[in-house]
Structure 1
Amino acid sequence: MSIQILQYEFLGPIPLEEWGPPMEKLVYLILSKDKDRFNVIYVGDCEKTDEKSFFVQHPQFKCWVKESGSEQSLHLAILPMFESSNEKRKNVLNKIVTRYKPPCSSDDISESKPDYVVRSSDDADPKPEIFSCPCCGSEMKAEQILEKCTVFRCIGCGLSDTKLNF
């Protein structure tokens, strides 16, 4: 059995009480079962554990029970990421937390960093080239200069284009 969250295929869910160690390099979901529906109440990651009491001793365990109504409603789903770095697992975790906003994960949300850097026009070494819009022939103005590319917008028709900064 599996459950899809965003583009990730998680194994499970299984009742949390049926879980047994070991666990290594994965992202896990704590779910609350409500009739035939599962609600994400916590998202976490694990480097490695052999502890049977890993979940029961978790600092958010009381929150999980409170949100689900009982320990019997708690379920676990896992996304094995054996070859992943800690950063890659945190990235998946942050995407899920941002999208689903699990009530017991609110303290764990870290500020995600974008994959790009926005620089002001003053920071750019060379001035962006001036060229004509391929659609209407009007001038294309630099709208945003990023680390590796510049976004241009036509002053006539509003068409946008992106050029790499060399």
Structure 2
Amino acid sequence: MSIQILQYEFLGPIPLDEWGPPMEKLVFLIMSRDKDRFNIVYVGDCEKTDDKSFFIQHSGFKCWVEKSGSEKSLYLAILPLFEASKEHRESILNKIKMRYNPPCNVEKVSNERPDYAVRKSDNSTEKFSCPCCGSEMKPEQFLEKSTLYRCGSCGISDTKLNS
């Protein structure tokens, strides 16, 4: 069985008391079951554990039980990411936290801002031909130091530095 959260395919959910170690490099969801619906209570990641009491000893366990109503209502879903870096797992965690706002995740989601600024068009853009089909490239987005152009015929895009 699997469950899709955002664009990620999680294995499970299974009752939390049925899980067994080991776990390594994954993102996990603690979910509460309400009839045929699962609600995300907590999202976390795990580097590695062989500890059977990993979840029971987790600092959020009390909150999970409180939000789900009972220990028997807790379910686990996992997203194995064996080749992924810690940063990649944290990125997935942040996306899920921002979208679902799990009640037992108390830490703040980093809401990073891009390191560029979008500016208004001044209509003094350079005209040039598409390197693929020769059609005129049209400006699509104006950034602080560059402009993104897209070909209306073949769809290829190119970025040019602003002068």
Where does structure 1 differ by over 4 angstroms across 4 or more consecutive aligned residues?
Answer: none
CA RMSD of aligned residues (A): 2.9
1:12-51 mapped onto 2 (5 Å cutoff): 12-51=12-51
Whole-angstrom CA distance in 2 between matches of 1:23 and 1:30: 15
Deviations 1:54-83 (A, max 9, x none): 100111111100000000000000000000
Residue identity in the other structure for 1:144: L
Is the Cα contact below 8 Å between 1:145 and 1:151 reproduced in 2? no
Whole-angstrom CA distance in 1 between matches of 2:55 and 2:64: 10
Where do 5+ consecutive residues of structure 2 fail to align?
128-138, 150-156
How many residues align? The count is 143
Where do 5+ consecutive residues of structure 1 fail to align?
122-128, 133-139, 153-161
User: Would the alpha carbon gap of residues 99 and 120 (structure 1) be closer, same or farther in structure 2, given more than 3 Å must change?
Assistant: closer
Is the Cα contact below 8 Å between 1:94 and 1:109 reproduced in 2? no
Q: Per-residue deviation at 1:112?
A: 3.9
What is aligned with 1:84? 84
Q: Per-residue deviation at 1:150?
A: 2.8
Whole-angstrom CA distance in 1 between matches of 2:24 and 2:108: 22
TM-score by length of 2: 0.76
TM-score by length of 1: 0.75
What is aligned with 2:108? 109
Q: Taking every aligned residue pair, what percent have the same amino acid on both sides?
A: 59
